[in-house]
């Protein structure tokens, strides 16, 4: 690991890679990458590796990789001494991912792979680094999701079980009105469970990038009118809503079911967490061909420190759990908007309250599918 330091070398740009001289194509990788040559000297140290370790590429290139990345396991053992990558079996091709640590305590997920010559000697040893904190956050999010689902399912299922057990055991003791009330409660709780399952499926598809888009020509103003009519039919006051259209829209190729879901979630969010009149504005997008939709309320708005968290899973407004909801609605809205190629933002509305504004590109028939 010691020895005289050779001249440092820069990672070479492969011919035909499309990169300019002096650029490192590996800098485009999201994971850290260290490549050592047959003498265990670092010949490539990409930007992600610099970011994760705090070691500059200049300080790493040409140095023995074991000095650049002195990794140890949870018991404090020198990982490279345990692994002996340039010794041992010449049949080894890779090492599975495991958690290792730098001397300062930085936790990394590390995998390694070999390229060998015909005689089995190591020609290249590649080490891939991933941020362990990111995986920890993902595991915590999954645990939160399981906890949230269990909590949200428990209440309606307990209600369904209680009312059905009561009706089965004491059917003849209740009159028709009492039976109707109990069955209506069971029906409403079953709808709540169905909505939760639908939200979970949407989250799964968004995270896996498996949202299916069935595009067709959509009249956005008409979709807004349908959502408002549905809210009024469900019991909201008609004068709670104001709808405005401005300018002529291009032909919009969108998934109508997902557009209804986006609008429905945003309007419900404004009604539940906001106050006063809910205003929906549809107008041409001033930045590119397409449309922009704004949903505004007149409530307290979203605190500035919470703006960056609004579209994350499990975020709830100032009302928190008191106003219900799983905290998945706005996360799903963002995923559906982005699946169309659009963007969504939140800010303070001109008259106070919150304003959610999303844009949709016009698309074209040959893009629909």
pLDDT of 127-181, one tens digit each? 999 887 767 776 776 777 777 677 778 888 888 999 999 999 999 999 999 999 9
Per-residue confidence (pLDDT) for residue 249, from 0 to 100: 93
Separation CA 313–CA 49 (nearest Å): 29
Residue 2 reports pLDDT greater than 60: no
At residue 56 the predicted structure's pLDDT band, cuts being 50, 70 and 90, is: very high
Separation CA 146–CA 314 (nearest Å): 12
At residue 32 the predicted structure's pLDDT band, cuts being 50, 70 and 90, is: very high
Question: What is the value of pTM for the model shown?
Answer: 0.58
Q: Which residue has the tokens 């967490």?
A: 273
Residue 7 reports pLDDT greater than 70: no
The predicted model gives 197-202 an average pLDDT of 82
Per-residue confidence (pLDDT) for residue 325, from 0 to 100: 58
What are the residues facing 241 on neighbouring strands? Answer: 278
Sheet holding 241-245: strands in order across? Answer: 241-245, 278-284, 290-296, 354-361, 343-348
At residue 1 the predicted structure's pLDDT band, cuts being 50, 70 and 90, is: very low
Per-residue confidence (pLDDT) for residue 126, from 0 to 100: 95
Per-residue confidence (pLDDT) for residue 303, from 0 to 100: 80
Across the chain, where does the E strand assignment appear?
32-36, 42-45, 94-101, 107-116, 122-131, 216-217, 241-245, 253-254, 278-284, 290-296, 343-348, 354-361
The string of pLDDT tens digits covering residues 202-244 is 888 887 778 888 899 999 999 999 999 999 998 899 999 999 9
Separation CA 65–CA 34 (nearest Å): 8
Per-residue confidence (pLDDT) for residue 323, from 0 to 100: 44
Per-residue confidence (pLDDT) for residue 27, from 0 to 100: 86
| Domains, the chain | 25-132 (3.30.450.20), 135-208 (1.10.287.130), 216-367 (3.30.565.10)
Separation CA 359–CA 340 (nearest Å): 9
Per-residue confidence (pLDDT) for residue 128, from 0 to 100: 94
Separation CA 182–CA 251 (nearest Å): 48
């Amino acid at each position: 690991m010691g020895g005289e330091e050779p001249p440092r070398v820069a990672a070479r740009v492969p011919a035909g890679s499309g990169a300019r001289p002096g650029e490192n194509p590996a800098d485009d990788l999201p994971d850290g990458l260290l490549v050592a040559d047959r003498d265990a000297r670092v010949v490539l140290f990409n930007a992600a590796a610099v970011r994760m370790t705090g070691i500059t590429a200049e300080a790493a290139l040409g140095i023995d990789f074991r000095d650049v990345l002195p990794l140890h396991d949870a018991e404090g053992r020198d990982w490279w001494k345990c692994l002996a990558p340039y010794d041992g079996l010449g049949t080894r091709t890779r090492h599975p991912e495991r958690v290792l640590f730098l001397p300062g305590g930085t936790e990394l997920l590390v995998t390694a792979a070999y390229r060998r010559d015909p005689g089995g000697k190591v020609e290249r040893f590649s080490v891939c680094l991933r941020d362990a904190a990111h995986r920890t956050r993902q595991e915590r999010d999954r645990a939160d999701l399981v906890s949230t689902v269990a909590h949200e399912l428990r209440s309606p299922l307990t209600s369904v079980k209680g009312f059905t057990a009561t009706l089965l055991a004491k059917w003849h003791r209740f009159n028709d009105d009492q039976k109707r009330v109990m069955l209506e409660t069971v029906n409403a709780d079953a709808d709540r469970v169905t909505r939760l399952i639908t939200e979970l499926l949407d989250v799964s598809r968004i995270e896996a990038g498996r949202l299916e888009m069935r595009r067709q020509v959509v009249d956005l103003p008409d979709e807004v009118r349908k959502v408002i009519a549905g809210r009024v039919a469900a019991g909201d006051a008609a004068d709670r809503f104001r709808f405005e259209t401005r300018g002529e829209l291009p032909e919009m190729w969108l998934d109508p079911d997902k557009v209804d879901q986006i609008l429905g979630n945003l309007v419900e969010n404004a009604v539940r967490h906001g106050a006063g009149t809910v205003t929906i504005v549809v107008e041409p997008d001033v930045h590119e061909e397409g449309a922009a939709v704004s949903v505004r309320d007149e409530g307290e708005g979203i605190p500035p420190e919470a703006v960056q968290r609004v579209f994350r899973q499990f975020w709830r407004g100032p009302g928190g759990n008191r106003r219900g909801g799983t905290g998945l609605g706005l996360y799903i809205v963002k995923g559906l908007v982005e699946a169309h190629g659009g963007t969504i933002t939140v800010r303070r509305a001109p008259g106070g309250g919150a304003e959610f504004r999303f844009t949709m590109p016009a698309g074209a028939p040959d893009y629909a599918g």
